[in-house]
Structure 1
Amino acid sequence: MNKVTIAVVEDEVIIANDICDTLETLGYSVLEPAINYTEALETIEKHKPDLVILDIQLSGKKDGIDLAWKIKEDYNIPFIFLTSNADQLTIDRAKRVDPPAYLMKPFNEDELYSSIEIVLFNFAEKQKEDENLVINDSIFIKQQMLFKKVKFEDILFLKSDHVYVEIVTKNQNKYVVRGTLNSYLGKLDNNFVRIHRSYIANLSHLDMINQVTIKIGAIELPIGQRYRKTLLDRINIA
């Protein structure tokens, strides 16, 4: 299972390293911290983190609030403000971005952990059709009050079961989540295609295909008549 990946944007090196150490202790995967708006955008674009923790005060012309607006407009990534600034003007500017969380320095480990998990939970709640969270190239599957990260590339196929979907991975793990195949198809990458009213397959794991079935590893899946042409077009078979 992949860890949740977090980007830290903080222009004070000692504080940035302390935050990163705390996050690693909590079991998260942490990217190299960015110190300004430009570095942060480069990190987000290159590594596609699952969550961003950003200080409001950054070196350069654009601060953390400017960065938060950019993240909100161009990326489907939740963020947490982390700052020692509590003046009313700063709070008013920050509120306009509608931040998922706002942590004041100094923070402790429990406060940081709780904020991250609550932000992921609330972000997932905004996704209307299921209980789980899709960020970049991964789905976060809700298990009690925590989220387990499953990368798209590890998924073999999805199977519909009324109002639930079973997600099967290449290590044979199975996760049952609430939702519909259509709700997930729009969130997955281009390797996934509907092959049957009950199945979505990850074509990157395709081993065999004939007129009525495909094979992924040792698993054979049916091809629905109405989905056959789309499937064949996707894999360039006339």
Structure 2
Amino acid sequence: MQKIKIGIVEDEMIIALGIANTLKELGYEVTEPAGNYTEALHMIVTEKPDLLLIDIQLSGYRDGIDLAASIRADAGIPFIFLTANADQSTVKRAKDVHPQAYLVKPFRKDDLYTAIELCLHNYATPGSKKEVAGNYIVRDAIFIKQGALLKKVRIDDILYLESDNVYLNVYTVDEKLLVRNTLQDYISLIGLPSFVRVHRSYAVNINHVQAINPGYLVINKTEIPISRSLRDNLFNHLKLG
């Protein structure tokens, strides 16, 4: 499992370092701050952040709104605008690029955490199937709510899902994460053909199947039962006769 990586685009270095320290206290990974449009584009390519905090009023010919427009067109990364005092024309330009959230300087740690959750939620919901009960899909990862934190898990790293009454266990090689979702909702959220339901209580990532017979399959040395009614569908996905 990886931490959510957040990129900071802020030309006031003292402010940028303060934001970075707050993000680290909240449990996020932070990139080296970028101070202008060009540095930000380089940071996005090299660091591949999951989310960006962008100061609207960057120094230089191109400001934070220009950067956001470029991100929307090419990178597909959710972003939060940071702003202090902005005139009406700047606010109008900011609205035109549809930020997922705003933060008004100065802000508190709680404000930052709330804005990040709101940003992920607003980024996910336009796709209708990218968000389920506080769990969000952003590109190739799912952000899973665990206590006060959102934790990043690459979808390819999920081995299988196990239904446990009103809860769901999400298994990776390293750990088990507990979420309050139904098995079918989570399969729909992930939305990939590699995740196949094999039992009323289990769905598996077929890319991790190590062995199989008519009654069960093996993933990471764990035997997972196969329902008779779901066996043919599984075998079709695995291209087995």
Q: Same fold (TM over 0.5)?
A: yes
How many matched pairs? 231
The answer for unaligned runs of 5 or more in structure 1 is: none
Matches within 5 A, 1:182-201: 182-186=187-191, 192-194=194-196, 196=198, 200-201=203-204
Opposite residue 26 of structure 1, the aligned amino acid is: L
- TM-score (norm. length: structure 1): 0.77
In 1, Cα distance between equivalents of 2:162 and 2:128: 20
Aligned residue number for residue 51 of structure 1: 51
* Cα distance change, pair 224–34 in 1 and its aligned pair in 2 (3 A): farther
In 2, Cα distance between equivalents of 1:165 and 1:21: 33
In 1, Cα distance between equivalents of 2:155 and 2:75: 18
Determine helix, strand or coil for the equivalent of 1:62: coil
Determine helix, strand or coil for the equivalent of 2:95: helix
Aligned residues: CA RMSD? 3.3
Determine helix, strand or coil for the equivalent of 2:238: helix
Determine helix, strand or coil for the equivalent of 1:92: helix
Aligned residue number for residue 35 of structure 1: 35
Question: Residue 145 of structure 1: CA displacement?
Answer: 6.7
The reply on whether 1:173 has 2:180 as its aligned counterpart is: no
Aligned residue number for residue 119 of structure 1: 119
In 2, Cα distance between equivalents of 1:162 and 1:224: 23
Q: Deviations over 1:96-116 (max 9, x none)?
A: 122222223333333323322
The reply on whether 1:147 has 2:150 as its aligned counterpart is: yes
Q: Deviations over 1:176-229 (max 9, x none)?
A: 42453552343x5x8x44364765433554332456643112222337213324
Judge conservation of contact 1:195–1:224 (CA < 8 Å) in 2: no
Aligned residue number for residue 105 of structure 2: 105
In 2, Cα distance between equivalents of 1:169 and 1:24: 24
Aligned residue number for residue 19 of structure 1: 19
In 2, Cα distance between equivalents of 1:146 and 1:21: 16
Question: Residue 53 of structure 1: CA displacement?
Answer: 0.1
84-93 or 151-160, which moves further after superposition? 151-160
Aligned residue number for residue 66 of structure 2: 66
Determine helix, strand or coil for the equivalent of 2:56: coil
In 1, Cα distance between equivalents of 2:212 and 2:70: 43
Judge conservation of contact 1:117–1:146 (CA < 8 Å) in 2: no
Judge conservation of contact 2:167–2:178 (CA < 8 Å) in 1: no
The answer for unaligned runs of 5 or more in structure 2 is: none
Judge conservation of contact 2:187–2:195 (CA < 8 Å) in 1: no
* Cα distance change, pair 213–46 in 1 and its aligned pair in 2 (3 A): farther
Question: Residue 144 of structure 1: CA displacement?
Answer: 6.7
196-205 or 91-100, which moves further after superposition? 196-205
Judge conservation of contact 2:5–2:28 (CA < 8 Å) in 1: yes
Q: Deviations over 1:62-82 (max 9, x none)?
A: 321122123333444321111
Judge conservation of contact 2:79–2:101 (CA < 8 Å) in 1: yes
In 1, Cα distance between equivalents of 2:237 and 2:102: 46
